[in-house]
Amino acid sequence: MSRPESAGARFRQALKDNQPLQVVGTINAYTAIMAERIGHQAIYLSGAGVANASYGLPDLGMTSLENVLEDVRRITAASSLPLLVDIDTGWGGAFNIARTVKEMIRAGAAAVHIEDQVAQKRCGHRPNKEIVSKEEMVDRIKAAVDARTDDDFFIMARTDSFAQEGLEAAIDRAQACIEAGADGIFAEAVTELEHYRAFKDALNVPILANITEFGKTKLYNKQELGESGADMVLYPLSAFRAMNKAAENVYSSILANGDQQAVVDTMQTRAELYDYLNYHEFEDKLDALFKK
């Protein structure tokens, strides 16, 4: 697999090639391989996903930079798709944020989003979020942009301010972040298509729509989102939620029935599993190398 360009450059190219660019959450290396094979152009590592899946924790700012990096490294080693990473609030002050950005680039990430919630953050679609001042958020962006070791690395500012302060204030914050060097804006938990249009009309950078299930935003189609000015559409946890439900059914069925007959049809087969992993190529190599 040749990678002539940096991950950031590949993300920017994917953004140019796809209007809007769908960015699908991949909770681990294997699902990243699946997303790539299926034809997606960009993938996402969710902060909630790392907390929930890798650590069994809620999405309340309890995971560390190193926790997230570990999953970034696993995914970027397995897939050549550009990876957008949720870095929550950046894990500290200016120097911590700088370190976060440098380490993300080193780990092969293409892009990050950093948000304006307080460190004790919540999911963007939950009530009672608290945000830092516009000035503090601008400082976060400045620190992130200044730390970049690859000019193509894509730094997105996420604002959670719509819920408390409304559309105008959210756009005003986004504008300040762009002036500080942000490459894109993540308009968190807005509710109407017109809101994306308003962000797009006021700002001259790509806009991300977070279409997460069971949240505040309806499950708009990518076409209507594109027509409303969204440049990226994020599905952060869609496959993860489906995987969890499938696992729940399997565990329940095994317990209730004493075998897995009732759920075998819901499973990926061994052949399908191996196909994504190029298993047989590895096995052939082994045979060729060590044939008796």
Ligand X SMILES: C[C@](O)(C(=O)O)[C@H](CC(=O)O)C(=O)O
CB of 240 to ligand X, least distance (A): 9
Phi (first) and psi of residue 19, to 5 degrees: -125, 105
Handedness of CA 62, 112, 18, 217 (dihedral sign): positive
Kind and range of the H or E run holding 157: strand 154-159
Q: Compose the 27-66 pattern: x for residues touching ligand X by CB under 6 A, - for all others.
A: -------------------xxxx---------x-------
202 C-beta neighbours (distance < 10 Å), count: 18
Return residues touching Mg ion (CB under 5 A): 47-48, 86
Please give the distance of CA 237 from its chain centroid, rounded to a whole number.
9
CB nearer ligand X, residue 14 or residue 208: 208
Q: Are 2 and 13 in contact (CB under 8 A)?
A: no
Is 210 known to sit in a ligand binding site? yes
In angstroms, the CA 171 to CA 162 distance is 9
129 binds ligand X (CB under 6 A): no
Is 88 known to sit in a ligand binding site? yes
215 binds ligand X (CB under 6 A): yes
Active centre residues (catalytic): 44, 59, 86, 88, 113, 115, 123, 158, 188, 210
Instruction: Give the length of the chain.
Output: 292
Q: Compose the 217-256 pattern: x for residues touching ligand X by CB under 6 A, - for all others.
A: -------------------xx-------------------
| 3-class secondary structure, 28 | coil
Is 92 known to sit in a ligand binding site? no
Q: Are 23 and 234 in contact (CB under 8 A)?
A: yes
With CB atoms as reference, the residue minimizing the distance to Mg ion is 47
CB of 125 to Mg ion, least distance (A): 10
Binding annotation for substrate:
46-48, 123-124, 158, 188, 210-212, 241, 270
